[in-house]
Amino acid sequence: FFRIPHLLDELNANFFEMAPLLFLYDTASDKDYKSRRIKEFYFVNKTIANSSKVESTN
C-alpha cells in the first residue's frame, strides 16, 4: 500500500470496508467499531499517507 499511491487513495476512500479484510477481523460482528478504533489510534483520524507507515508500525 505505501509504495503504490493509488492504493493509499483507495484505502482512505474505503477504509471501513477494507480494514476488516486487511487486519483480519472481517467475521467480527463489530467491524465498524474496530475500524473506527484502529483509525483513531494508529492514524489519529488523519488521511493515511506514507508518513503513516512509521506511526502504524511503532
- Report how far residue 51's alpha carbon sits from residue 16's, in angstroms, rounded to the nearest whole number: 20
Q: Where are the domains of the chain?
A: 5-57
Residue 35: which residues within 8 A CB-CB, separation 6 or more? 15, 16, 19, 20
- State pTM to two decimals: 0.77
CA distance 44 to 3: 21
Residue with the bigger pLDDT between 33 and 49: it is 33
Quote the CA–CA distance of 31 and 39 in Å, as a whole number: 12
CB atoms near residue 37 (< 10 Å): 11
Give percent of the chain above pLDDT 70: 86
Q: Is the pLDDT of residue 57 over 70?
A: no
